Amino acid sequence: MKAIYSLSIGKNGIRNNEFCGYLCKEELLDALLLSSSISAKHFDKVELYCDTEAAKLIKEDGRIFPFDIIICLDELQWINGLLWAYSKVYVYSLQKEPFLHIDIDAILWDGLPPKLSTQKFIFQQKEPLAGYVYYNEIYGEAKALGLLPTDITYKPEYALNTAVFACTDINYLYLIKEYFNIVNSYVYGVNDRVYEFKTNHAQCILFEQLFIVNILESSGLKFEVDYNTILNDDYSEKWNNCRFTHFIVNTKRRDKNVNRIKKALLNLDKIIL
């Protein structure tokens, strides 16, 4: 199975004085180099799907990144920067073989745990809506504005964190395309209206993490049986004990974690895998 990454800069680059969620482009590239270098040790191949601007940035960096670069995201410049996760789901839909997509701010130190090899779909973790109340607010706003796709017929009891997302069975890639079609219809309708949402900064969470549950459950797939979580929600705070790290939201911008990434890059050959 291959590991894939995605990076669309374009309109998504500089936002709130940040560069694609990082304090600067150098820190983004450090994270991408570390995560992809670890993935290259565990997967048959590694690919980065990106736009021309991202490819240029990597070339100018001068370091050797262990992936093939596939430029295919230039056509997505029409997407509002607040809907940045659209490019990620679009990349899912392009796949013709089993794949694992990993976010740039995530690191799979040990690759995929063998116990999950039978799962058709794999995600970082399950997020019950009762404990993650912002899903309710985001869903409620979209429904009130009449922007939910007709395929989204109910609100599930949980969402799925997709910092890691894998489809391990080629026979289920068609579901990814169906999922993308739902996301596409939503984003197309929301794109010019995103500022009507009080939660406009979080619309990605809705279509990236909640819509996918609809398509899986509607297809008869069951949690624990057909897909599962692989990790935990400790994120980067257990750096020394956790064999998976996700620098979620602002953790990637904390000085201590920026320094940890730089240190890990300097000792990449010495990291115990």
Model-wide pTM > 0.85: yes
User: How far apart, in whole angstroms, are the C-alpha atoms of residue 2 and residue 116?
Assistant: 15
Contacts 24+ apart (CB under 8 A), 129-134: 129/155, 129/156, 129/157, 129/158, 129/159, 130/157, 132/159, 134/199, 134/202, 134/205
pLDDT of residue 10: 78
- pLDDT, tens digit (0-9, with 9 covering 90-100), for 145-156: 999 999 998 999
Residues of the chain with pLDDT under 70: 11-17, 231-242, 270-273
Tally of helices (H runs) and strands (E runs) in the chain: 8, 11
pLDDT of residue 110: 85
User: How far apart, in whole angstroms, are the C-alpha atoms of residue 181 and residue 185?
Assistant: 6
* Residues 6 or more apart in contact with residue 15 via CB below 8 angstroms: 21, 81, 82
CATH 1.20.1440 given to domain 2-270: no
pLDDT of residue 17: 65
Domain ranges of the chain: 2-270
User: How far apart, in whole angstroms, are the C-alpha atoms of residue 61 and residue 27?
Assistant: 12
DSSP strands (E only) in the chain: 2-7, 14-15, 18-19, 46-50, 68-71, 99-102, 106-108, 121-128, 158-167, 227-229, 244-246
Helix (H) or strand (E) holding 55: helix 52-61
User: How far apart, in whole angstroms, are the C-alpha atoms of residue 235 and residue 244?
Assistant: 8
- pLDDT, tens digit (0-9, with 9 covering 90-100), for 214-256: 999 999 999 988 988 876 544 444 555 557 888 888 888 889 8
